[in-house]
Structure 1
Amino acid sequence: MKAIGFRTSFPVDHEESFIEFESQIPEAKGTDLLVKIQAISVNPVDFKIRQSAAKDTVLADPKVIGWDAVGIVEAIGEKVSLFKVGDTVFYAGDITRSGSNAEYQLVDENIVGFAPKTTTISEAAAMPLTSLTAWEILFDRIRISPEKDKGKSVLIIGGAGGVGSVAIQLAKKIAGLKVIATASRPETINWCKKMGADVVVNHFDLVKEVREAGFENVDFILDFVDTNMYWDVMAELIKPQGHIASITGSSEPVALNKLKNKSVSFSWELMYTRSMFQTADKIEQHHILNRIADLLDEGVVLSTLTTTLKGLTAENLKEAHKLLESGKTIGKIVIEY
């Protein structure tokens, strides 16, 4: 099978930042599905791993990354019970295993969902990783309840990105929250409004912007940009007994003491935790993806696809990574095979 990977962490413009090579089609065993991939999407985690996984070294075997895919189940392991050969599936995969930038991939059935029936392949490929992340941060980390939290406010920092685009929709349409999203360019402001944001504010002076929009404080804050950069702002804007959650990690210790007087909760969200640590509830990702597929089919949630490239090639992966590294992308970039 054809696969695309890298041996060294080169800048994206380097001739060998991605290389095409041939590899054996893997064999499905246990609870694994062998998926013949039809389309993938590219996420910021892809270029971050490309930039760091083989820094100052040369790997003997190329590393294949990629954590979003749609495809057809080609074969199943002997313990598979959720799917059969021929099913169309979508998933975000497992960061500890070989990725989706290849013609075939093995993936544990517990973190796979049935693909939506009414979307295009590319529209479906755009959704798994960002949907899982947005769903988990809202409903597993903060544990928002549509019954008790309806009408409360959420500030989403980074509303036009892949995760922010889905989080706006889920927060508004499923949780029933009042959604404030950050964006600064006309095109990103319009995108956030299209996704369902009630209010869009400029992130350059966030405290002033949020308060001028009529919110002295907010019940929940989701950070999809930079925890350290926005920490003081978030600590000021969050309501007493509110909840802040972030996906971005931290380059230095987070000053949690700034949340103490308000008794504010803080959570990290990493979509890979369940697969990385084989948690007892990892099948929840199967259920979440099935729910997202239903919401897409019902038209409640819109695909966040904005750019489609045609063909599994090193050049297309370089182009997708270059676009993401610019920090200017809106929604999701998909490569259709």
Structure 2
Amino acid sequence: MTSTMTAFIAQGGREITDADAFVEQEAPVPELRPRDLLVKVRAVSVNPVDTKVRAGLGRDDSKILGYDVAGIVEAIGPGVTGFAAGDEVYYAGDITRDGGNAAYHAVDERIVGRKPNTLSFAEAAALPLTTLTSWEILFDHFGLRADSTGTLLVLGGAGGVGSIAIQLATQLTSLEVVATASRSESRAWARSQGADHVVDHHNLVDEVMAVAPHGVHYLVASQTRGNINAFADIVAPFGHIAALDEPPGLDILPLKAKSIAWHWEMIFTRSMFDTADMIEQRNILDRTSELVDAGTLRTTMRTAVAGINTDSLRQAHELVASGKAIGKVVLHD
């Protein structure tokens, strides 16, 4: 194996339409840490976190992005016990390390799952980050089980997180699921994922209360900016909210009167802090593979772009940053 590889590097201080927003360069093949896998990348997907990290880079900064990967294990590092060369895997990676927009990628085995047998690499790459996010919200933060009842509201029901959160809630709990979507195609997509009701976020309070007059018990909030007062109206007393964004100056005091619990969700927390339960992300991804192969869950890939290169990355980032993407955008070889 060679000591260098092709990498596609995001450069800061550029508009996404600039020709040099991404550049192709030769880079060293990553050195493996204890418990690392070296993965031959076959597909990556683009998430809002990719666009946020790229937008936050300074003019002189650069970074290899890519926090959803599907590929084949090329080599294993010291202490690896769960995988061998040739295994097909998928994962979201670690935001403190280089991402997967390259020919090869190094990742800790504890956050890697076995790719679903019934999915292509592209279809599999759509799932890890959003599934981990949704799973941790529903089953870790909210503590939901198969017999859990009540109403769940998913903001952005046609987005990456929304799409799989709807599927997980409808397939693995007894909740009634309400999703927000405004365009006809996004509303149709949210319904196809299993949403019982689809409402327009532009008139959030009235539309939610029309289908859940006593309020919702659980809320997955991809967008909290300007919505806290609405949340105070539509979430039932002792309800739960999980937030994905981080608007500056956020004030959640309006939620206190109803004793509404506020949860932050960051799927990179376990890998960032090397938590004792880091391997739970492997367990979640392996369980997801089982559910996919059983036909219980399905890929959320909606847009597939052939070729992992600078042009396809610009195209995918522009679409995701626009907020108009439905499902997941995946690049594949």
Alignment-derived partner of residue 268 in structure 2: 272
One of 6, 27, 30 as aligned partner of 2:31: 27
Superposed displacement of residue 319, structure 1: 0.4
Q: Distance in 2 between matches of 1:192 and 1:312?
A: 28
Aligned residue in 1 for 2:156: 158
Task: Tell me the equivalent position of 2:197.
Answer: 199
SS of residue in 2 equivalent to 1:239: strand
The match for 1:170 is 168
Match of 1:227 among 224, 228, 250: 224
Q: Distance in 2 between matches of 1:292 and 1:205?
A: 34
For 2:208 and 2:304, the matched residues in 1 are separated by: 34
**Match in the other structure for 2:21:** 17
Query: Aligned equivalents of 1:13 and 1:19: distance in 2?
Result: 13
CA contact (8 A) 2:145 2:172 kept: no
Say if 1:126 and 1:334, in contact at 8 Å, map to a contact too. Answer: yes
Structure 1: unaligned runs, 5 residues or longer: none
Aligned partner of 2:176: which letter? K
Aligned residues between the structures: 329
Of 40, 43, 48, the residue aligned with 1:44 is 48
Does the CA-based 8 Å contact 2:66-2:101 persist in structure 1?
Answer: yes
Q: Cα distance 1:214–1:141, how it changes in 2: closer, same or farther (>3 A)?
A: closer
Match of 2:211 among 210, 213, 221: 213
User: Could you tell me which of 279, 283, 286 is aligned with 2:282?
Assistant: 286
Match for residue 70 of structure 1?
70
Q: Normalising by structure 1, report the TM-score.
A: 0.95
Match of 1:303, SS state, is coil
Residues 309, 316 of structure 1: 8 Å contact kept: yes
Query: What's the TM-score once normalised by structure 2's chain length?
Result: 0.96
Unaligned runs of 5+ in 2: none
Tell whether 2:151 aligns with 1:123.
Answer: no
Instruction: Give 1:214 deviation, angstroms.
Output: 4.3
The 3 A distance-change label for structure 1 pair 52 and 23 is same
Q: Deviations over 1:69-108 (max 9, x none)?
A: 0011011012001111110000000000011000000000
Contact residue 35 and residue 76 of structure 2 kept, 8 A: yes
Give SS of 2:227's match. Answer: helix
Q: Which residue of 2 aligns with 1:145?
A: 145
Q: Percent identity?
A: 45
| CA shift for structure 1 position 206 | 1.0
For 1:230 and 1:154, the matched residues in 2 are separated by 17
Task: State whether structure 2 residue 138 is matched by structure 1 residue 134.
Answer: no
Q: Give the stretch that moved more between structures: 267-276 or 245-254.
A: 245-254
8 Å CA contact 1:29, 1:76 repeated in 2: no
Q: CA deviation at 1:264?
A: 1.4
Determine if the alignment matches structure 1 residue 316 to structure 2 residue 312: yes
Q: Which amino acid aligns with 2:234?
A: L
